[in-house]
Amino acid sequence: MQQIISALLAIVLGVGVMLFYFYGSNWLLDTLLPDTRGAGGRYVSRQRQRTAIRPWLFVAPALIILTIYLVYPAIQTFFLSFFNRDSTDYIGLSNYRWALGDGEFLQSIGNNLLWLVVVPSASTALGLLIAVLADRVSWGTIAKSLIFMPMAISFVGASVIWKFVYDFRGPDATQIGLLNAVVVGLGGKPQAWITIPFWNNFFLMIILIWIQTGFAMVIFSAALRGVPEETLEAARIDGASEVQIFFRVMVPQIMSTILVVWTTITIVVLKVFDIVLAMTNGQWDTEVLANLMFDWMFRGGGDFGRGSTLAVVIMIAVIPIMIWNIRRFQQEEGLR
């Protein structure tokens, strides 16, 4: 209870301080740079100076926090990747050389590539399929709501949910995991799914696909509503089948949205961490970069050099998307 009170106090204090800052700094600006009558009664307007300064008062808190929490750490991480475990000695490219020879790292790269191929494509395809299907039935809204629901569930919560689905008991016991029960019901042998190397990656990926499909679906659903009815009608008159209309008329028109969804999910995949940590912690050949990085942050008291190196590797993978994002944004601004 006391904690909740202190949390509420923090809100009041935080909001209060910010209001005080914004109000105070604006007042200060108006007081320190007032319009005055100079010598000889000449009217001196300082409007222009105030206009030059005021925007900075508005953006300063945001810029300061962004600098401390994102910009400066990102730059420092880059430098730390050239230092040893406790950041005392410059060791050049040693960390990178270590990574290239490290089995876990290479396994992570392989697995990350697998995730990058499977998860965005599966989520995008399923999301698109569901968006199209749901638009055609009367209960589509409810269907979309239910498929969207996993978006609200944490990766750890989702991991518990799916670990229960994958649960394995010995071949003689009653299976309480849904998947094994189905397999046994169909006459197969129960398996400890998440311990079967290579294939277990897919069982982890299903969790992320389960979460991200709803996201893709919602975006596509909105985009499809923007497809002009005339184009569909024209195709129908020309005798196109529904499948043809989908691939030849709808998909090309929402191609840019598909790219946005694809890249957004790609970034989520690059950072995937919670699911692997909770399900296997990288055992049975399921290691991924983000989990390996977290591991090195604390392994044996923490190796900040190697941890930073792994973070930089993730960052390098994100950079193309980042540049594309900024470009796209600037193009849109040009159209504004």
Partner 1 sequence: MNAKIPGLNMTYGRLVTHLSLLLLVILWTLPVLGLFISSLRDKDQLIVSGWWTALRTTERNQFGRTGTADGQFERDGVYVIAGNFFKEGEHKTVKAYSDKQNDISAYRPGETITLADDSRFTLQEDGSYEWVSSEPFDLTRGKRFFFVAKIPPRFALDNYREVLTSEGIGQSFINTFTVTIPATIIPILIAAFAAYAFAWMRFPGRQLLFAVVVGLLVVPLQMSLIPLLRLYNNVGVAFGVAAKSYPGIWLAHTGFGLPLAIYLLRNYIGGLPRDIIESAQLDGASHFNIFTRLILPLSVPALASFAIFQFLWVWNDLLVALVFLGKRADQIVLTSKLRELLGSRGDNWEILTSSAFISIIVPLVVFFALQRYFVRGLLAGSVKGG
Spell out, one character per residue from 184 to 223, where the chain touches partner 1: x when CB under 8 A holds, - when not: --------------------------x--xxx--xx--xx
For residues 168 and 158, give the distance between their C-alpha atoms in angstroms, rounded to a whole number: 18
DSSP code, position 135: T
Pick the piece of the chain touching partner 1 (CB under 8 A) from 51-59, 109-117, 190-198, 244-252: 51-59
Amino acid at 263: T
Which residues 244-283 are close enough to bind partner 1 by CB under 8 A?
Answer: 257, 260-261, 264, 267, 270-271, 273-274, 277-278
Q: Does 155 bind partner 1 (CB under 8 A)?
A: yes
- The answer to whether the CB of 81 falls within 8 A of the CB of 96 is yes
Query: At its nearest, how many Å lie between partner 1 and the CB of residue 198?
Result: 23
| List 46, 77, 125, 236, residue binding partner 1 (CB under 8 A) | 77
Which residues 123-152 are close enough to bind partner 1 by CB under 8 A?
Answer: 126, 129-130, 133-134, 136-137, 140, 143, 145-152
Query: At its nearest, how many Å lie between partner 1 and the CB of residue 228?
Result: 16
Q: Does 119 bind partner 1 (CB under 8 A)?
A: no
- The answer to whether the CB of 288 falls within 8 A of the CB of 276 is yes
Spell out, one character per residue from 298 to 317, where the chain touches partner 1: x when CB under 8 A holds, - when not: ------x--xx-xxx-xx--
CB closer to partner 1 out of 248 and 327: 327
Query: At its nearest, how many Å lie between partner 1 and the CB of residue 148?
Result: 7
CB closer to partner 1 out of 40 and 108: 108
| List 11, 39, 186, 237, residue binding partner 1 (CB under 8 A) | 11
Give the DSSP letter string of 238-265.
TT--HHHIIIIIIHHHTHHHHHHHHHHH
Which residues 165-184 are close enough to bind partner 1 by CB under 8 A?
Answer: 165, 167, 174-178, 181
